[in-house]
């Protein structure tokens, strides 16, 4: 929220997006755990970012008392399901029910889902069975230095 509310930061970001040719490869993550005080401001930010071809992800979804109104009010492309729900989903039926509910709602809203913290084959198999769209985590691959991909 501090970044979105900072005119200088937004001017810099939009300037970079004006120059970058591959905005469709960029996803901006909003933390679901941050309190959104001004929905109009965040909505306008999401709309403008998407006008550049970039995507918006709502990160850490499912932490604590998630505010489902975020996904109902904001134009987002992805929900990143928090590690607290994914890390033991292969053994926890309550996590499975919660993720199944999130995925069902997301599909009805045409929002794709991403499981964070996929650290084993068992977890990957479970999120696949629950129809999560994407997975990320050490089982998929460890983070790599960005310089590997930028000449």
What integer pLDDT is reported at residue 73 of this predicted model?
86
Per-residue burial over 35-45, b if 16 or more Cβ lie within 10 Å, else e, is ebeeeeebeeb
pLDDT at 47 over 70: yes
The residue ranges of every structural domain in the chain are: 53-142
- 105 within 8 A of 131, measured Cβ to Cβ: no
Q: Give the mean pLDDT of the chain.
A: 91
Superfamily designation of domain 53-142: EAL domain (3.20.20.450)
Kindly report the pTM of this predicted structure.
0.89
Rounded average pLDDT over 58-66: 78
Helix (H/G/I), strand (E/B), else coil: 91: coil
Provide the residue count of the chain: 151
Tokens of 25: 């490869």
What integer pLDDT is reported at residue 35 of this predicted model?
74
Least Cα distance to 71 among 96, 94, 102, 38 occurs for: 102
The Cβ of residue 134 has, within 10 Å, a number of other Cβ atoms equal to 15
């Amino acid at each position: 929220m501090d970044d979105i509310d900072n005119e200088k930061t937004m001017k810099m970001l939009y300037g970079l997006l004006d120059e970058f040719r591959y905005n469709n490869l960029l996803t901006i993550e909003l933390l679901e755990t941050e309190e959104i005080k001004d929905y109009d401001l965040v909505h306008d930010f999401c709309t403008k970012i998407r006008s550049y071809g970039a995507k918006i992800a709502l990160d850490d979804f499912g932490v604590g008392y998630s505010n489902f109104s975020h996904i109902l009010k904001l134009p987002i492309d992805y929900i990143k399901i928090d590690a607290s729900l994914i890390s033991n989903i292969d053994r926890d039926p309550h996590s499975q029910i919660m993720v199944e509910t999130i995925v069902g709602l997301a599909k009805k809203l045409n929002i794709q889902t991403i499981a964070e913290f996929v650290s084993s084959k068992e977890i990957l198999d479970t999120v696949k069975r629950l129809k999560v769209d994407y997975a990320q985590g050490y089982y998929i691959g460890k983070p790599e230095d960005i310089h590997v991909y930028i000449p």
